[in-house]
């Protein structure tokens, strides 16, 4: 028989852990962006796009599954010519 209290406690613990992980991810992303921006030598307007491309390349180079990468960075439309 299921124990609703134990199930709820387990679900809460999982949620809190994922939230901590998410906060760690945000902090690490902010730090990475700060360092990237300090070293950016291109046009200021293209900084955000360059950072997104950089993160996508990091995931790809780190052997993340292509499906995982495409979920975060869907294929971009070709530039209008």
pLDDT for 71 = 72
Indicate if 48 and 61 belong to the same structural domain. yes
pLDDT for 15 = 93
Indicate if 45 and 31 belong to the same structural domain. no
Phi and psi (nearest 5°) for 69?
-65, -45
Indicate if 27 and 15 belong to the same structural domain. yes
Q: Supply the range of the domain harboring residue 68.
A: 41-81
Indicate if 46 and 34 belong to the same structural domain. no
Indicate if 56 and 32 belong to the same structural domain. no
Indicate if 17 and 1 belong to the same structural domain. yes
pLDDT for 1 = 62
Overall domain count for the chain: 2
Indicate if 29 and 60 belong to the same structural domain. no
| Angle of the 47-61 helix axis to the 4-38 helix axis, nearest 10 | 120
pLDDT in tens, 8-45: 999 999 999 999 999 999 999 999 999 999 999 999 99
Could you tell me which residues come within 8 angstroms of residue 73 by beta carbon, excluding any fewer than 6 positions away?
52, 55, 56, 59
Indicate if 35 and 45 belong to the same structural domain. no
């Amino acid at each position: 028989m299921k124990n609703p209290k134990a199930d709820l406690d387990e679900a809460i613990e999982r949620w809190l852990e994922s939230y901590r992980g998410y906060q760690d991810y945000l902090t690490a992303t902010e730090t990475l962006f700060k360092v990237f921006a300090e070293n950016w030598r291109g046009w200021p307007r293209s900084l955000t796009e360059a950072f997104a491309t950089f993160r996508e390349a990091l995931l790809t180079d780190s052997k993340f599954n292509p499906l995982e990468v495409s979920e975060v960075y869907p294929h971009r439309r070709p530039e209008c010519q």
